[in-house]
Amino acid sequence: MEASSGGLPLIHVGRQAIYDSSGDVVAYELLFRDAAGATQASRRSADATSRVIVAAFTDFGLDELVGTRACFINITREFLVGELPIPFDPNQTVLEIIETVDVDDAVVAGVEQLVGRGFTIALDDYTPGTHDRLLPLATYVKVDVLDPAVDVAGIVQRCREDFPGIQLIAERLETEEQLHRAIELGFHLFQGHVLGRPHVVSMVGLSPSRLSRIRLAGALAAADVDFDEVVSLIAADPVLTYRLLQATNSAASGLTARVSSVREAAVLLGLPTIRQWVTLMLISELTEGAEEPLVATMTRARMCQNVAQQLGLSGDAAFSVGLLSGIAELVGQSPADLVQQLPLSEETSAALADGAGLLGQVLMVVRDYENGVAAGLADLLDPDAAAKSYLTAMAWCNEALGAAGPVARSSTFPTPASTP
């Protein structure tokens, strides 16, 4: 795992275009990469697939990676037979079954269920054999034109005769000659270095304590789920809050509502979907989170909540405003850029982007207070109430992160602004 200049981990996703015969990009395949300079995947596993899914749908956002085009994601056996969840709707995503999957009755039954749910299936590096059982369920078949053991022309002829609805994709095209031959053979789509090499996109990834995720997974797995507890655990995890808001806003979620708090996002997504995302996030964690900036962010969020509630405003919305402003700083984005990626209410977006409205004023005075400037907050609350709000925010944050181990808080918590 690489680190950014700020010490936070970087996440990477490889993206390779798939072209039609006119040279237009019609889809992208998303690929696991463990470094920005990696030219190929270091592994093709359930863990790698989970990281790609989480990164594509939450950290980056599917719209940013592929726009409105189809998105091919490699899928391993664990996802096909239901051992690991696929937490997004079909829409534009193509499930690409890698060639190492042992196709047995359980896999066939799992693929049939996925097709029944509306998912599109592609077979990767197809060669005649056990994967023939999946041909009636496939929309795409990818053929490695460089594999000397593969009868490329024979595969094309058989698919055209027996499965005319299948779209054939020629992959690993290295030369113009190979591209022209693929076109002559009757391939529909084309992928390879002659057309475009995989492009690795990177961004800062935030990884909070695994312990809080495990506690949340346990709460979600309970026979009688305590919704309030679930919302509380999510709200205590800045990165999970951001990811779930991002998932709510994803086109794949099928939701159109705008939300201003974790509670509203949880209601809209529903506990089953949240459970699926948390499961994937648990196995996709790459490293322990940077605790100090997370502590500072959570303290700000709680302080915003405390102040807002004393003013008769929505504590949940204020918590989200404080939380997301801190995340914007952590990932090196402006709040204005961040709000464009999230399904926030107009009031919350305006507070973050422009400091507008009462929520924006709360955020501004809390940030000033962090820096030792008490004047703004003194206009909203009396000095004793202001100091108490800050101290209770610190106490709450200490309690919330206490189970995560010792943290060098002396450099994290600013000295509260002095009061007369």
Contacts of 71 (CB under 8 A, 6+ apart): 27, 28, 29, 30, 56, 62, 65, 92, 93, 94
Residue-wise pLDDT for 41-60, tens only, equals 444 456 677 777 766 666 56
Q: Which two tokens stand for residue 89?
A: 């709707």
Q: Which two tokens stand for residue 134?
A: 């999946």
In 64-217, which ranges are E strands?
Answer: 70-75, 93-97, 120-123, 140-144, 167-171, 189-190, 199-204
What is the per-residue DSSP string for 90-154? STTEEEEE-TT----HHHHHHHHHHHHTT-EEEETT--SSGGGGGGGG-SEEEEETT-TT--HHH
Q: What is the DSSP letter of 121?
A: E
Q: Are residues 171 and 146 in contact, defined by beta-carbon separation less than 8 angstroms?
A: no
What's the CA gap between 15 and 29, in Å, rounded?
6
Residue-wise pLDDT for 304-314, tens only, equals 988 898 888 88
Q: What does the pLDDT average to over 172-193?
A: 95
Residue 341: its pLDDT value, please?
A: 66
Q: What is the DSSP letter of 45?
A: S
Residue 413: its pLDDT value, please?
A: 31
What's the CA gap between 295 and 92, in Å, rounded?
37
Q: What is the DSSP letter of 9?
A: B
| Among 93-107, 181-195, 212-226, the least confident range | 212-226
Residue 110 has pLDDT above 50, yes or no: yes
Strands 25-32 and 10-20: antiparallel
What's the CA gap between 232 and 280, in Å, rounded?
20
Measured at the CA of 331, the angle between CA 60 and CA 210, to 5 degrees, comes to 80
Residue 374 has pLDDT above 50, yes or no: yes
Relative orientation angle of helices 271-284 and 238-249, to the nearest 10 degrees: 120
Q: Are residues 201 and 12 in contact, defined by beta-carbon separation less than 8 angstroms?
A: yes
Measured at the CA of 199, the angle between CA 18 and CA 179, to 5 degrees, comes to 35
pLDDT above 70 coverage of the chain, percent = 70
Residue 338 has pLDDT above 80, yes or no: no
What's the CA gap between 56 and 31, in Å, rounded?
10
What is the per-residue DSSP string for 216-268? HHHHHHSSS--HHHHHHHHHT-HHHHHHHHHHHHSGGGT----BSSHHHHHHH
Backbone angles phi, psi at 28, to 5 degrees: -130, 140
Residue-wise pLDDT for 211-259, tens only, equals 566 566 556 655 567 888 888 888 877 777 777 777 776 645 555 667 7
Q: Which two tokens stand for residue 338?
A: 């961040």
Q: What is the DSSP letter of 416?
A: P
Q: Which two tokens stand for residue 51?
A: 């990281």
Residue-wise pLDDT for 393-415, tens only, equals 877 766 655 533 333 333 333 33
Strands 167-171 and 25-32: unpaired
